[in-house]
Amino acid sequence: MPRLFDFPDELLCKILEYLSSYDAIYSFFNLNIRFNRLLMPFKHQIDLTYLSYGQFMNFIKIILPTINKDEPLYSLKLGNVRTPGQIDLFNTLIHDQTYRGYFDNINKILIECPRLNELIIFVEKFLLSLSNLASLSIKIDQIRDEDFHKWTQLIVNSVLSISNLIQLEIEMPTGLVLSRVCNTTMFNSLIDLSLNLTLVTDLLILIQHTPNLEKLSIRIGWWTSGDRTLLKMLDEMRLNTDRISFLIHLKKFHLTIDSILTFQFEHLEQVLYRILNRQ
């Protein structure tokens, strides 16, 4: 009967593909030099969302310090879906400098179903300190009406403003309102953006503050061509001959509209012109 160690690297890599990062590292790390080499991709990324409390603590306190001696961690996924309280636990542990240093090289993060207070701490105490963070995905499952303004403030003032962020995806049950974004605020680093907005006017505001976008995916909650603010903004853009094009680098654009109250094609045409015109 063949032994696992007798299998060629190609077959072992196929076997490892069926395992999670945690299971692969927990099962095979430090068996020998060969397995450590095959486990290289698993050492750079970790999905904590499916781990139990015990597995989570084992990874943070035992496994991560060991693998971090040779290989930095680049990608992190965590959330409250399968393990309620995981984000709060992570926020608590990250205050300890013993563990904080293991995450200094993170460049990609996905966080699922955070509560408002958890995300505030996560952003202010962790995200904003990551100098290499380039990709961020946040999936929000619920927003209380009384907290909507706080969510908007957090995303606009802190998340969108992360200076080194290149790719950002935010999924939320209600769209953002961008009417209070300062005219001088620019989100210059963003190249790939996916966002939920409330109104088409929020989209027009957004494109004036994200000049370097190459990919843009937007979901709008409501479209109404009778909105006076929309008509005013379109008129102002039409009269502004100094800035005809807003997204001159755009290569890919996707727009979803959930509900239409009143609709005039010419208004949609004008909006798309401001987005897609690259002259």
**Same domain as 192, residue 106:** no
**Same domain as 65, residue 128:** yes
**Same domain as 157, residue 50:** yes
Angle made by CA atoms 116, 139, 189, in degrees to the nearest 5? 95
| The total number of structural domains that make up the chain | 3
**Same domain as 131, residue 163:** yes
Residue range(s) defining the domain that contains residue 267: 175-279
**Same domain as 20, residue 3:** yes
Sort 21 into a burial class: Cβ within 10 Å, 0-12 / 13-18 / 19+.
Answer: buried
CA dihedral 191, 194, 200, 202 (to 10 degrees): -70
CB contact at 8 A, 119 and 84: no
- Quick one: pLDDT at residue 268? 79
Of 101, 132, 167, which marks where a domain is finished? 167
- Quick one: pLDDT at residue 126? 95
- Quick one: pLDDT at residue 262? 72
**Residue range 86-115, pLDDT digits in tens:** 999 999 999 888 888 899 999 999 999 999
**Residue range 220-266, pLDDT digits in tens:** 988 877 678 877 888 777 777 666 668 889 999 999 988 877 777 77
Please enumerate in sequence order all residues whose Cβ is within 8 A of that of 137, keeping only pairs 6 or more positions apart, or say none. Answer: 109, 110, 111, 168, 169, 170
**Same domain as 129, residue 22:** no
Helix segments in the chain, DSSP class H: 9-17, 21-28, 33-38, 40-43, 53-58, 64-67, 86-94, 97-100, 116-125, 148-154, 200-207, 228-239, 265-276
Strands 135-139 and 108-112: parallel
| Residue 29 pLDDT class (50, 70, 90 cuts) | confident
**Same domain as 235, residue 208:** yes
| Residue 168 pLDDT class (50, 70, 90 cuts) | very high
**Same domain as 54, residue 12:** no
Distance from chain centroid for Cα 47: 15
**Same domain as 158, residue 123:** yes
Higher pLDDT among residues 230 and 84, named by residue = 84
| Residue 124 pLDDT class (50, 70, 90 cuts) | very high
**Same domain as 52, residue 30:** no
**Same domain as 272, residue 235:** yes
Of 137, 167, 197, which marks where a domain is finished? 167
Mean pLDDT over residues 198-221, rounded?
Answer: 92
**Same domain as 189, residue 277:** yes
Of 127, 142, 167, which marks where a domain is finished? 167
Three-class SS state of 37: helix
